[in-house]
Amino acid sequence: AQSVAQPEDQVNVAEGNPLTVKCTYSVSGNPYLFWYVQYPNRGLQFLLKYITGDNLVKGSYGFEAEFNKSQTSFHLKKPSALVSDSALYFCAVRVPGAGSYQLTFGKGTKLSVIP
């Protein structure tokens, strides 16, 4: 079975500082990894994904994530946080070739960027 862990319920960061939202995964096989963002009372929006190739993936709104196979991690990063980045962030994993193509989501991390 595949699983995703987001060890921090909440991350607080000052505006202009770098931010990191952590994600680790457990799968058998090579995973597809995703990050989504959710603003209040909205659906989830796709940020970026890792499929294969370069371990550093760049996505929307200046976010990037680094795939680390040895540490089974896929942490989300941004060099300089904005107040508008405050939202709920979800990491997700899928193993290619597995059944119904479901994503398994982490429980989410609330990011608060303090002005």
For 41, the 3-state DSSP assignment is: coil
Q: How many residues bind another protein (CB under 8 A)?
A: 25
Candidates 40, 54, 70, 115; binder of another protein (CB under 8 A) is: 40
Q: Name the minimum Å distance from CB 16 to another protein.
A: 26
- When asked if residue 89 is in the footprint of another protein (CB under 8 A), the reply is no
74 forms part of the interface with another protein (CB under 8 A): no
Using a 10 angstrom Cβ sphere, with 0-12 exposed, 13-18 middle and 19 or more buried, the burial of residue 10 is: exposed
- With CB under 8 A as the contact rule, the residue among 5, 22, 82, 88 that binds another protein is 88
Q: What is the Cα–Cα distance from 81 to 73, expressed in whole angstroms? A: 21
Q: Is residue 41 left, alpha or beta, with left meaning phi > 0 and alpha meaning psi from -120 to 50?
A: left
> By the criterion CB under 8 A, which residues form the site for another protein?
32, 34, 36, 40-46, 49, 51, 88, 90, 92, 94, 96, 100-103, 105-108
